[in-house]
Amino acid sequence: MPVLQAVNVSHRYTQASPTQFSAIENVNIEIENGELVGIIGHTGSGKSTLVQHFNGLLKPTEGKILLDGKDIWESKKTVHQSRFKVGLCFQYPEYQLFEETVYKDIAFGPKNMKLSEEEIDKAVRKAAEYVGISASMFQKSPFDLSGGEKRRVAIAGVMAMEPQVLILDEPTAGLDPKGRDRILDMIKAYQKDTKKTVIFVSHSMEDVAKLATKVLVMNKSRVAMYDTVDNVYSRAEELTEMGLNVPQVTKIFMSLKKQGVDVSQNIYTVEQGKAELLRLLGGSKK
């Protein structure tokens, strides 16, 4: 059974007039347990709106969201529970930090779940480890950290609730390449270790290619594609029409293929490209 399911979901921000445009329109998707889904799309395509439905922050104007097969809007209780089962980390989450210490801030979510002291402590330490925040930083004020550290503390705050599904909205926005790679590695390690479902929004095709097992492409409020990385990236022309760019290496390998060179087309990162070229040149050197 899929862990999350959207059935004919549409959302209009202002419901006053029925002619108002929908931020998302007729979305139908199923997300299986343990998957790492990358959501990609142009700015304003409805990515953030969609993910805010998964933990009941936004109520669908039409349609249903099923979590473990049950409608999350069934009752007040189920909505409240969905907030803990589905951990959503907003874009620029560092602006939500407020506690005196890093430790307390990470503990805010678990505390709201009414866990015991020991459980909270365990959850906080584990989450901090995933994001690479050492125990020596626990007593620091979150406002004294660097931008990248703040972001990681904020993500840890959501991870500490140990949600069944972790959603990150543009977790790498505004970070330098090093900070970005760090966050991506962290997401991968978290997923590998916990085997839980992770959904992340991004507008970098490279990032998605590096991490995701499945890609959801949003275009103009609708789901344009929802498939494996290989299947989605092979439709490069359609993606370009939507204003999305396939990674440069992919383009190079595609044109090599067109010119008759026997290379794989499913190359999305520079590392993969390097390996493929080495294979082609007959060398198995590193």
Partner 1 sequence: MIKDITIGQYFSAKSVIHRLDARIKIILTIAFIVNIFLIKNFWGLGVIVATLIATTLLSKVPFKMILKSIKPIVFIVIFTAVLNLFYMQDGRNLLPESWFISITDKGLIFAFFLAVRIITLVIASSLLTYTTTPTELTFAIEKLLSPLKLIKVPVNTFATMMTLALRFIPTLIEETDKIMSAQKARGADLETGGIIDRIKAMVPILIPLFVSSFRRANDLAFAMECRCYTDGEGRTRMKQNKISFKDIAALVIIVLITTGIVLLNTFFTHVI
Residues in the site for partner 1, rule: CB under 8 A? Answer: 52, 55, 57, 80, 83-84, 87-90, 93, 95-98, 108-109, 112-113, 143, 157-158, 161
49 forms part of the interface with Mg ion (CB under 5 A): no
217 forms part of the interface with ligand ADP (CB under 6 A): no
41, interface contact from ligand ADP, partner 1, Mg ion, none, CB < 5-8 Å by kind = ligand ADP
Computed over its alpha carbons, how large is the radius of gyration of the chain?
20
Query: Which CB sits closer to partner 1, 40 or 167?
Result: 167
Full DSSP string of 75-93: SHHHHHHHHHHEEEE-SSG
Q: How far is the CB of 118 from ligand ADP (least distance, A)?
A: 38
Q: Which one of 22, 48, 197, 219 is in contact with Mg ion (CB under 5 A)? A: 48
Q: What is the dihedral of CA 183, 185, 191, 193, to 10 degrees?
A: -120
Amino acid identity, position 280:
L
* Subset of residues 31 to 50 that bind ligand ADP, contact rule: CB under 6 A: 41, 43-49
Contact 212, 37 (CB under 8 A): yes
Rounded-to-integer distance, Cα 167 and Cα 36, Å = 10
Q: What are phi and psi of 120, to 5 degrees?
A: -60, -50
Q: How many residues does the chain have?
A: 286
Query: Which CB sits closer to partner 1, 73 or 84?
Result: 84
13 forms part of the interface with ligand ADP (CB under 6 A): yes
Summarize as ranges the residues that interact with Mg ion (CB under 5 A).
Answer: 48
